[in-house]
Amino acid sequence: MALSGVEIFKHLPKTNCKKCGHPTCLAFAMKLAAKQASLDACPDASEDAKKLLGAAAAPPIRAITLGTGDKAVKVGDEICLFRHEKKFFNPSVFAVAIKDTEAGDAAAKKIEAVKTSEIDRVGQKLRVEAIAVIETAGDPAKFAGVVKQVVDGAPGVPIILVSKNPAVIEAGISHCADKKPLIYAATAENAEAMAKIAKEKKASLVVAADGLDALAELSEKVKGLGVEDLVLDSGARKAKDMIEQYTIIRRAAIKKGFKPLGYPIISFVGRDDALSEAAAAAVGVMKYASIIILNNVEKWKMLALLSLRQNIYTDPQVPMQVAQNVYKVGDAKESSPLMITTNFSLSYFIVRGEVENSKVPSWLAVMDNEGLSVLTAWAAGKFTASKIAQFITESGVEKNISHKELIIPGYVAILSGSLEEKLPGWKITVGPREANGLPTFLKARA
């Protein structure tokens, strides 16, 4: 978080010597606060001032990368508390927990679940990104065995090693040392030993403490031991504690520039009941958890959670949109039907998906409406008969098709009359209202 001019002023020499080109130290401090000057201009600035300003320029929440290669994921580096203030940048990472007692078949099933977790939603590929191996048996060899099973079974998937026993971590990390794993966790009891492993292996490290004061103290201590890539666990497990503690952490980091809490948050939301687990994870997604550890990653659960994450992390200023174009769906020919929709990603992908389901090759004209849905665009006067007519005419689609029939969304049936006037020679057909009516509709015509 940026410092105010007055705060910066306190750390300047206060001699008003003008060497920086400003009449007073205070004037210079104001320029610094506004980021219109650099501290280098003051030859007499103390080391203390340089450190302070350097720290203030660092992002309020440190960016941490889990894993390496094309499956690596970045978390942290957020700058606001509410998505409407700017946007949330680095989506929460979902990880499934595999206990060392699950070695063998149970672990294999979860590994498979992660590998097949990818879904395609509104043009984005979403998946469970990581795997956490959890020590429960106190047995380094057993733990290392599961780590190896994960590394071999899901190559490249980032790993979180969970044990408070340094010997166990040591054994596990031997199978993934070069893969930038995340170690869970340094506590007041084992901080030195864990920091040593993290430093040696260039791993990221969770600091775990009960309560925020203890957490801040511990993160400073671990940082002092030379580990910078830290992640926080305040011990919150109940939804209430998650919202409260994560809010305080995020606020302290972003609004107060409080460095000891300026790291991403890890959240363990495991519950016996799968739907309760999903609800707790949802709270984490909305309220600042960067890494969310689930007991299980059932497909239905992940569909809901990944959709929520996508919603929360979209840019509130710019709706997701696709390029204006006449798209070919399947092996469309001259005689294939022509439909129109708007360029809101959601509208486009839903409609396209249903046209694909119908197996009827088609042309899909997508008109630029600044990313608004069909009804919203219509209500905003951006999906009107004259604008559609102009788009169809200028698109050149007539060269690709041998007919002159345009199918419009059922919700804008009201446009059909005026469209026939604006597009002389064209037949306007009103399609179903909901896109899921398209397969039946298209098949009936084919």
Give me 398's structure tokens.
């007539």
Residue 336 interacting with ligand B12 (CB under 6 A):
no
Residue 330 interacting with ligand SF4 (CB under 6 A):
no
Report which DSSP code applies to 389.
Answer: H
228 contact choice in ligand SF4, another protein, ligand B12, none (CB below 5 to 8 Å, kind-dependent) = none
> Among residues 186, 181, 175, 218, which one has the least CA distance to residue 202?
181
Question: SS3 for 239?
Answer: helix
> Among residues 161, 98, 72, 115, which one has the least CA distance to residue 302?
115
Angle at 225 between CA 189 and CA 131, to 5 degrees: 70
**Subset of 277-306 contacting another protein (CB under 8 A):** 278-280, 282-283, 286-287, 298-305
> Among residues 139, 35, 422, 110, which one has the least CA distance to residue 294?
110
Choices 20-28, 176-184, 251-259, 345-353 (CB under 6 A): range interacting with ligand B12: 345-353
**Where do we find the tokens 């504690």?**
241
Backbone φ and ψ of 167, nearest 5°: -65, -35
Residue 83 interacting with another protein (CB under 8 A):
yes
**Where do we find the tokens 């090693």?**
161
Burial 253-289, CB ≥16 within 10 A → b, else e: bbeebbbbbbbbbbbbbebeeeeebbebbbbbbbbbb
Alpha-carbon dihedral angle through residues 411, 412, 414, 419, given to the nearest 10 degrees? -150
List of residues 6+ apart from 338 with CB closer than 8 A: 326, 362, 363, 364, 365, 397, 401, 403, 405, 406, 407
- 17, 34, 55, 57: residue in contact with ligand SF4 (rule CB under 6 A): 17
Give me 157's structure tokens.
């998937």
Choices 125-133, 139-147, 342-350, 395-403 (CB under 6 A): range interacting with ligand B12: 342-350
15 contact choice in ligand SF4, another protein, ligand B12, none (CB below 5 to 8 Å, kind-dependent) = ligand SF4
CB of 20 to ligand SF4, least distance (A): 3
**CB-nearer residue toward ligand SF4: 20 or 329:** 20
**CB-nearer residue toward another protein: 196 or 271:** 271
- 8, 30, 37, 42: residue in contact with ligand SF4 (rule CB under 6 A): 42
Rounded to whole angstroms, how far apart are CA atoms 62 and 59? 6
**What is the total count of residues that contact ligand B12 (CB under 6 A)?**
28
Q: How far is CA 361 from CA 22, 144, 318, 333, in A?
A: 69, 52, 31, 7
Report which DSSP code applies to 344.
Answer: B
Residue type, 86: K
**CB-nearer residue toward another protein: 106 or 300:** 300
- 4, 124, 174, 247: residue in contact with another protein (rule CB under 8 A): 247
Residue 341 interacting with ligand B12 (CB under 6 A):
yes
Residue 254 interacting with ligand B12 (CB under 6 A):
no
Residue 194 interacting with another protein (CB under 8 A):
no
The pairing of beta strand 427-430 with beta strand 230-233 = unpaired
**Subset of 267-326 contacting ligand B12 (CB under 6 A):** 319
Choices 138-146, 152-160, 212-220, 427-435 (CB under 6 A): range interacting with ligand B12: 427-435
402 contact choice in another protein, ligand SF4, ligand B12, none (CB below 5 to 8 Å, kind-dependent) = none
Rounded to whole angstroms, how far apart are CA atoms 133 and 152? 14
Site string for another protein, 111-150 (x = CB under 8 A): --------x-x-----------------------------
Residue 16 interacting with ligand SF4 (CB under 6 A):
yes
Backbone φ and ψ of 127, nearest 5°: -160, 170
- 3, 8, 11, 12: residue in contact with ligand SF4 (rule CB under 6 A): 12
**Subset of 349-408 contacting another protein (CB under 8 A):** 350, 373
Q: Which spans of this chain sit near ligand SF4 (rule: CB under 6 A)? A: 12-13, 15-20, 22, 25, 28, 42, 44
Q: Which residues bind ligand B12 (CB under 6 A)?
A: 319, 339, 341-342, 344, 346-347, 350-351, 371-376, 378-380, 407-411, 431-432, 434-435, 438
